Amino acid sequence: MVRNLRIIIMLIAGIIVSILGLINRYDIKTLSITMIIVLAIFFILGSIIQKIVNRVYKQVRKKEKEQMISELNKKHEKANDDENQDDMADDNEVDNNKQPVEDSKTD
C-alpha cells in the first residue's frame, strides 16, 4: 500500500511552481498565493490518486491470494487422489495375493 503518494505529488508540484516563480521573477506575495493554491490542488489530486492506487493494490493482492489458495487446493486434491490410488493399488495387491489355504495335515 502506498502511504505518502499525495505528499510526494504535492511537493513535486511545489518545487516546480517555486522554480517557475523564481525564473519568472514573481514577487513573494504572488508566489506565496500561487504556491498555496497549487499545493492544495495537488494535495487533493494526490489523495484521489493514492486511493485509486491503494484500491488497485488491494485487488491485485486479493487475486494473488485467491490464486495461491486455488493452487494449494489443487495440490492438496492431487495428493489426496494419488494417496487414494496408492491405497487402492495396495488393496488390489492384497486381494491378488490371497490364495486358498490347503490343509496339509499329515497323520
Transcribe 43-68 into DSSP letters.
HHHHHHHHHHHHHHHHHHHHHHHHHH
8 and 46 Cβ atoms separated by less than 8 Å: yes
**pLDDT computed for residue 79 by the predictor:** 78
pLDDT of 31 > 80? The answer is yes
- Is the pTM higher than 0.95? The answer reads no
- Per-residue pLDDT tens for 4-23? 888 999 999 999 999 999 99
- Per-residue pLDDT tens for 45-83? 999 999 999 999 999 999 999 999 988 888 888 877 777
